[in-house]
Amino acid sequence: MALDKQQLEEMYRRMCLIRYFEEAVIAIHSSGELIGPAHPYIGQEAVAVGACAALRDDDRIAGSHRSHGHPIAKGGDVKRAMAEILGKVDGFCKGKGGSMHLADFSIGILGESGIVASSVPIATGAALASKLSKKDFVALVFFGDGASNQGACHESMNMAALWDLPVIFLCENNGYAITTSYKNSVSVDHVSDRASAYGMPGVLVDGQDAIAVWEATDEAVRRARAGEGPTLIEAMTYRFEEHSLGLDRIIKSEYRSSEEVEEAMKRDPLVIHRATMISHGFSTEAECDEIESTVKTEIDEAVEFARNSPYPEPGDLYDDMWATPV
Amino acid sequence: MALDKQQLEEMYRRMCLIRYFEEAVIAIHSSGELIGPAHPYIGQEAVAVGACAALRDDDRIAGSHRSHGHPIAKGGDVKRAMAEILGKVDGFCKGKGGSMHLADFSIGILGESGIVASSVPIATGAALASKLSKKDFVALVFFGDGASNQGACHESMNMAALWDLPVIFLCENNGYAITTSYKNSVSVDHVSDRASAYGMPGVLVDGQDAIAVWEATDEAVRRARAGEGPTLIEAMTYRFEEHSLGLDRIIKSEYRSSEEVEEAMKRDPLVIHRATMISHGFSTEAECDEIESTVKTEIDEAVEFARNSPYPEPGDLYDDMWATPV
Amino acid sequence: MPVKTYIQAIQEATIEEMQRDPTVFMMGEDLRKSVYGATAGLVEQFGEDRIIDTPLSENGFFGAALGASLCGMRPIVETVTSFLWVGMDQLISQAAKMRYMFGGQAELPVTFRIRMFYARGAAAHHSDRNYPVFMNTPGLKIICPTNAYDAKGLLKTAIRDNDVCMFFEDGIAISSRTEVPDNEDLPGGELLVPFGVANTVRAGSDVTVVGIAGGVQHALDAAKTLETEGISLEVIDPRTLVPLDMETILKSVERTGRLVVVDPAHKVCSAASEIAATVAQEGFWSLQAPIQVVASEQVNVPYSPALEPLIYPTPEKVVAAVRVVLD
Amino acid sequence: MPVKTYIQAIQEATIEEMQRDPTVFMMGEDLRKSVYGATAGLVEQFGEDRIIDTPLSENGFFGAALGASLCGMRPIVETVTSFLWVGMDQLISQAAKMRYMFGGQAELPVTFRIRMFYARGAAAHHSDRNYPVFMNTPGLKIICPTNAYDAKGLLKTAIRDNDVCMFFEDGIAISSRTEVPDNEDLPGGELLVPFGVANTVRAGSDVTVVGIAGGVQHALDAAKTLETEGISLEVIDPRTLVPLDMETILKSVERTGRLVVVDPAHKVCSAASEIAATVAQEGFWSLQAPIQVVASEQVNVPYSPALEPLIYPTPEKVVAAVRVVLD
Ligand SMILES: Cc1ncc(C[n+]2csc(CCOP(=O)(O)OP(=O)(O)O)c2C)c(N)n1
Ligand SMILES: Cc1ncc(C[n+]2csc(CCOP(=O)(O)OP(=O)(O)O)c2C)c(N)n1
Ligand SMILES: [Mg+2]
Ligand SMILES: [Mg+2]
């Protein structure tokens, strides 16, 4: 393993950040403080964190609707993330984007898309910019198993392969698109099986194991930076919560069995990562506990910060529409 | 070979029909009688004819912008096709569609699309109707190498494979999308290599050999009718003319070498088919000549018919907009 | 008379039409589990062949619905305004144009049921009110029911119609409840609301207020407020935007001389603009005051609960517009 | 002063901006062989990295252009109106919304150069005049140059602008020739036409005629015809539809009291409707006659040369409309 103690602990810290962040969002939502949709990332933390651990600050990421985890994994400030979700001025987007749009361009977080798969071409374009401007940053886009069926993915992968773009297509296969099993929406066994149709490597990886995701991404990043082109990675993961906050009120019938959910939850990515750190002698139980409790405080502070941040003023409505106002 | 003399001769007849039809269209265009765009099918006749020879009248086809050949191969009336191209009332579409829209629903010609790849989902839906209504007709869609890069193809192939739809995706790889070599637009060696990404058979076939195209299509039709699902066929072919009538005035620089064009034109699908018929003892030279001359007359008559057909009246303008007028 | 929600009305219309005609079937995302609420229990009743869950491929399955309709089927497609952009090619180049382009050969009995969310913190990506965009290209019928009665009656008409119908389900109207008669109490035994016939929801004499989609309720609320001041609004709900019953609107303006149009869509090139322009052309001599359009601010939909409510029409904005035309 | 075609003007603007700024590059189909005429020789001059031929994947490469623009590049995308539908998701959900949605972080200096073919027998699939559709969703600048001078000056402005610009190249205007000054004869050394400033192409006193895209020429032709009868038209070319210089239009209507708007787009929810609606709201008291809109018939574009010409505005239709407003 090429990761050292500090890196592994930072990964653990970020996974905890995401987990507690999401738990806070769920609590806030059920209190009625948050009205819009929000899609918890709980259960998938190892994917975002493993992938972003292989990236530099100037590498770009783009995400999806289920995208609280991605910006946090990339190093985004949880205070500003939480403020955004509450629609406050101190949010990443001054409250204009919300849960599905947590961007921080200053550290390569190009934002997410509520329209499924719509950020895949955007990330491909970021990689094109890297190539054209002879920089060596890479772009990585997170998208779901459901998203993989959109034409936007096909077009982007074809272009990226044709032009050897430094882009990583990271499909988070959590088994479902809302209630639709990926077995009923993807016509082959694995999304990564489709890589060969573009002439790029397709890598299937355990998405509950942050280190495995890091390894696959690290190799894809190496390829990308070396000008060898794109990689399609499929991380098998699971969403522990319902599709979206509030949707549990709508989805009454079962679309996944409780046995399946229970089984999947046994492979908690935080537990797995913590166990690896300890069993390999990188960290002690106490050190891990310490990380957890620091993160808990950080999230409490983020909620506090977000709650105290003011709402935008009516006069802010038209700001940010145009670079040169019309 | 499972084709008999009559079938082979009918195939030859249709290939000649297409060839002479297109030559007549070119002549008409250069005389200035035709102003809109038209995309000659010359050089690709074996694809349409070979494929349609495997179809029944109630099977559906859909095509592209380069679609004079497809409806003729399916048995469409050349008189009405020519009248349509001249914008006359006796045209298939009463002059409202023109060169890119030669539909005759009564014999399964669902029409074409000027928007590249846009008829691929339509054909997929026709196949869905076949399945849902428990009929056994199949749908076949012709599209180009360029078209294969559109998201619409990806989405359609995935759905067709998922639902085992009786549809045949027939990619006519004529090497170019206008001036763009397919090597610069498709990131793998062959479009048919992409079939495995959907879990359907991918068949690469010599598109200059009508019999080879028929064989591949016939097997795909068998599969489709048996409920075994879709097939992707890639027919390697070549367009002998410029992309579009009139465009030769625009495309001044070479995008394909004259050697390449000459080499390709040596494999004229009409010559190849005629030679097969004769060498296998199905038909004599005289019989083939006879077919050709009958067809020539037929096309002359079609031109005559089209020229004599009246233009639509101004009062026809709003007809056919709505089933129930607004 | 039983009171029903908008969603119930939609579900009833769907069930009745599916029972009546075996070629009617549904396509969409997560229909079987009824994520958008109007398809609960349908798969149990009609089977998987008639309630089809599609992959996330709007352009692909919109087109597949069109293709199926060309071969004798009558698909109902469920989707959301914001996802229409993804399938726009099939909607404009095929759905709107095929019939004409093929000289009338193509029958396209497809109904797109389109949920229109807004005003609930869903941000710019899930708050489109884009029916005006589909009015520009001829070939699509545009239906905007504003209550359960119309939702049922118009949906049944749409499913039976042989043209492509785009049925916009206003996210504000969706929670409303209206009286919807039982079939046995109806002459003819069923509820069918014709296209192109506006509904004068409230008769009045001072100002004509045309409400579109969620705008109708704002108009009615404004009417109530102004009633207390002795100002009488005539509120018209066009119900369908293509075809559009301009006659009813023009006749009303003839009497009132004043027009306010309320449209939750973005103002520029909105349905409200179209109605205003038509009245400025054909009803000009009736007008005694400037036409007022109350539509959404020309700004993307902000997420923040502090900003989003500012952009949409409200009863207060309608009241203010009425005061302008009466000034 | 040298006379240039519209296409030459576009090519000149492109070359000047590419020379000036190394981050400007082009993406599109068959650019290197200049299938649409305005990119001839560019790949020889600027290399394959700056003149990129894309696969047939409009949604994909529109999005890639946007993504590249977020990382410091300034793409010019060449396409055709009718292919915009295919890439609509990227245009509406991303291009129009990203900047606002991300609180101003996203700069999107992308120019879409969009060829607008019509009136040449290309049938319904290749004859869209769809700029009004892009006016409804806020976030896109819409530019409609009607002559070579404006084409050059507005394109240069668009390429330098940090917002998404949609530059519609009218297929009728394309063959026109206009005087375009050489750079050395210009103060500042280059031709830049600002957005949001309408051009009063012809001063007049009886009727204000606003022409959009190809409509300007019809208005000018009508003006010539009517001049002989002593009727004086003021012809205004807004040049950009977003931003739209309503002030110039309203001021003109204040003087003439009469308005005709000529728009080759389909009439319903057109740019003409929007202008008419705005004048009916803000310029009402100036109006002395009904506003007349001369736009395309609300029917799909027929292929037949016997039908197609019937649907578009013509000078004769403009003359007839002017007679109505003077009646
Ligand atoms: C184009 C589009 N279609 C439909 C939706 C509604 N929708 C939101 S998330 C989702 C499922 C996405 O599934 P997947 O890509 O697997 O991501 P996951 O939710 O599992 O993380 C759907 C259908 C959407 N937002 N955009
Ligand atoms: C969506 C779309 N983009 C671009 C075009 C312009 N165009 C017409 S034909 C064509 C090339 C098509 O290539 P291919 O699919 O290989 O078919 P071929 O012309 O070779 O038969 C292009 C780019 C179009 N009609 N539709
Ligand atoms: Mg998923
Ligand atoms: Mg080709």
**For residues B223-246, average pLDDT:** 96
User: Is-cis flag, bond preceding D243, omega within 30?
Assistant: yes
**Which chain B residue has the Cα nearest residue C94?**
B118
- Residue C82, CA atoms < 13 Å, CB-side half-sphere: 20
What pLDDT, on a 0 to 100 scale, did the predictor assign at position B252? 57
Q: What DSSP designation does D93 have?
A: I
Q: Given ligand 1 and candidates A65, A101, A112, which is best to mutate, with the most ligand atoms within 8 Å of its CB?
A: A65
Q: pLDDT tens digit string along B35-47?
A: 889 999 999 999 9
Q: pLDDT tens digit string along B190-218?
A: 999 999 999 999 999 999 999 999 999 99
Ligand approaching nearest to the C-alpha of B41: 2
What pLDDT, on a 0 to 100 scale, did the predictor assign at position A251? 63
* The CATH homologous superfamily of the domain defined by B5-303: Thiamin diphosphate (ThDP)-binding fold, Pyr/PP domains (3.40.50.970)
| Residue B118 CA, ligand 3 centroid: distance in Å | 27
pLDDT band at B251 (very low <50, low <70, confident <90, very high): low
Q: How many CB atoms lie within 10 A of CB A94?
A: 26
Cβ–Cβ < 8 Å for B88, B101: no
What is the per-residue DSSP string for B159-203?
HHHHTT--EEEEEEE-SEETTEEGGGT-SSS-GGGGGGGTTS-EE
C292 and C226 share a domain? Answer: yes
Q: pLDDT tens digit string along A84-106?
A: 999 999 999 999 999 999 999 99
C174 and C216 share a domain? Answer: no
What pLDDT, on a 0 to 100 scale, did the predictor assign at position D207? 98
Cα separation, D295 vs D314, in Å, equals: 9
Closest CA to D82 of B115, B98, C62: B115
Ligand approaching nearest to the C-alpha of B175: 4
Cα separation, A208 vs B39, in Å, equals: 53
A-D CB pairs within 8 A amount to: 162
Which H/E stretch holds residue C79? Answer: strand C74-80
Q: Locate the ligand 2 atom nearest the alpha carbon of residue B115 and give its number.
A: 26
**D7 domain-assigned:** yes
Q: Which residue has the tokens 């103060």?
A: D187
From chain D, pick out residues whose CB is under 8 angstroms from the CB of B251. Answer: 33, 35
**Rounded mean pLDDT of chain A?**
96
Look at residue A136 and tell me whether its pLDDT is greater than 70. Answer: yes
What pLDDT, on a 0 to 100 scale, did the predictor assign at position A220? 98
Q: What DSSP designation does A186 have?
A: -
Q: The CATH number of the domain where C237 resides is what?
A: 3.40.50.920
- Please give the order of strands across the beta sheet that includes D207-211: D199-202, D233-237, D207-211, D259-266, D292-296
Q: pLDDT tens digit string along A172-222?
A: 999 999 999 999 999 999 999 999 999 999 999 999 999 999 999 999 999
Backbone angles phi, psi at B284, to 5 degrees: -100, 165
Cα separation, A165 vs A199, in Å, equals: 13
| Residue B145 CA, ligand 2 centroid: distance in Å | 9
**C123 domain-assigned:** yes
Q: pLDDT tens digit string along A21-45?
A: 999 999 999 999 888 899 999 999 9
D75 and D21 share a domain? Answer: yes
Domain count within chain D: 2
Distance from CA of A111 to the nearest CA of D (A): 7
Q: What residues form DSSP beta bridges with B236? A: B173, B206
Q: How many CB atoms lie within 10 A of CB C134?
A: 27
Known catalytic residue at D126: yes
What pLDDT, on a 0 to 100 scale, did the predictor assign at position B253? 65
Cα separation, B145 vs B154, in Å, equals: 13
What pLDDT, on a 0 to 100 scale, did the predictor assign at position A246? 78
Subunit contact B96:D302, Cβ cutoff 8 A: yes
What is the per-residue DSSP string for C230-261?
T--EEEEE-SEEES--HHHHHHHHHHH--EEE
D305 and D254 share a domain? Answer: yes
**D193 domain-assigned:** no
Q: Which residue has the tokens 């000289």?
A: C103
Which H/E stretch holds residue A263? Answer: helix A258-265
Q: Which residues line ligand 2 (CB under 6 A)?
A: B 65-66, 114-116, 144-147, 174, 176-178, 243; D 29, 56, 58, 83, 86
The answer, for D125 touching chain C at a CB cutoff of 8 Å, is: yes
Cβ–Cβ < 8 Å for D97, C300: yes
Identified catalytic residue from D125, D126, D218, D266: D126
Beta strands D24-28 and D199-202: pairing type?
Answer: unpaired
pLDDT band at B250 (very low <50, low <70, confident <90, very high): low
Chains with at least 3 CB pairs less than 8 angstroms from chain A? B, C, D
User: Which residues neighbour B200 within 8 Å (Cβ) at sequence distance 6 or greater?
Assistant: A187, B157, B160, B161, B229, B230, B231, B232
Backbone angles phi, psi at C66, to 5 degrees: -60, -45
Which of C52, C59, C77, C192 best probes binding to B when mutated, by most B CB atoms within 10 angstroms? C59
Q: How many CB atoms lie within 10 A of CB A307?
A: 13
Look at residue C289 and tell me whether its pLDDT is greater than 70. Answer: yes
Subunit contact D101:C124, Cβ cutoff 8 A: yes
Q: Which residues 20-49 of D have a C-beta within 8 angstroms of A? A: 23, 25, 49
Cα separation, D9 vs D177, in Å, equals: 9
Subunit contact A188:B198, Cβ cutoff 8 A: yes
Cα separation, B244 vs B25, in Å, equals: 11
Look at residue B246 and tell me whether its pLDDT is greater than 90. Answer: no
What pLDDT, on a 0 to 100 scale, did the predictor assign at position A253? 66
Q: The CATH number of the domain where C86 resides is what?
A: 3.40.50.970
Q: Which residues line ligand 1 (CB under 6 A)?
A: A 65-66, 114-116, 144-147, 174, 176-178, 243; C 29, 56, 58, 83, 86
Ligand approaching nearest to the C-alpha of A116: 1
- Of B100, B185, B313, nearest to D56 by CB-CB distance is B185
Q: Return the domain boundaries, chain B.
A: 5-303
What pLDDT, on a 0 to 100 scale, did the predictor assign at position A134? 97
Q: Locate the ligand 2 atom nearest the alpha carbon of residue D126 and give its number.
A: 25
Q: Given ligand 2 and candidates D36, D56, D89, D117, which is best to mutate, with the most ligand atoms within 8 Å of its CB?
A: D56
> Which residue's CA is the closest to the ligand 1 atom numbered 20?
A177
- Of A150, A151, A198, nearest to B188 by CB-CB distance is A198
D176 and D209 share a domain? Answer: no
From chain C, pick out residues whose CB is under 8 angstroms from the CB of D304. Answer: none
Q: How many CB atoms lie within 10 A of CB B279?
A: 8
Distance from CA of A246 to the nearest CA of C (A): 11
**C26-43 burial string, b = 16+ CB within 10 Å, else e?**
bbbbbbbbbbbebbbebb
**Which chain A residue has the Cα nearest residue D107?**
A323
What is the per-residue DSSP string for A69-138?
HHHHHTT--HHHHHHHHTT-TTSTTTTSS-TT---BGGGTB----SSTTTTHHHHHHHHHHHHHTT----
Distance from CA of B145 to the nearest CA of A (A): 13
Chains with at least 3 CB pairs less than 8 angstroms from chain C? A, B, D
| Residue A115 CA, ligand 1 centroid: distance in Å | 7
Instruction: List the structure tokens of C45.
Output: 């009743």
Calculate ∠ Cα B96-D272-C263, nearest 5°. Answer: 100
Look at residue A252 and tell me whether its pLDDT is greater than 60. Answer: no
pLDDT in tens, chain D (327 residues): 899 999 999 999 999 999 999 999 999 999 999 999 999 999 999 999 999 999 999 999 999 999 999 999 999 999 999 999 999 999 999 999 999 999 999 999 999 999 999 999 999 999 999 999 999 999 999 999 999 999 999 999 999 999 999 999 999 899 899 999 999 999 999 999 999 999 999 999 999 999 999 999 999 999 999 999 999 999 999 999 999 999 999 999 999 999 999 999 999 999 999 999 999 999 999 999 999 999 999 999 999 999 999 999 999 999 999 999 998
Q: What residues form DSSP beta bridges with C5? A: C177
The answer, for D304 touching chain B at a CB cutoff of 8 Å, is: yes
Which H/E stretch holds residue B215? Answer: helix B210-225
Look at residue B13 and tell me whether its pLDDT is greater than 70. Answer: yes
Alpha-carbon torsion A99, C169, C59, D129, what sign?
negative
ipTM above 0.95, yes or no: yes
Instruction: List the structure tokens of C248.
Output: 């009813």
Compute the radius of gyration of chain A from its Cα atoms. Answer: 19
D287 and D165 share a domain? Answer: no
Q: pLDDT tens digit string along C17-55?
A: 999 999 999 999 999 999 999 999 999 999 999 999 999
Amino acid at C32: R
Q: pLDDT tens digit string along C56-114?
A: 999 999 999 999 999 999 999 999 999 999 999 999 999 999 999 999 999 999 999 99
Cβ–Cβ < 8 Å for B120, B143: yes
B-D CB pairs within 8 A amount to: 128
Q: Which domain holds residue C100?
A: 3-185
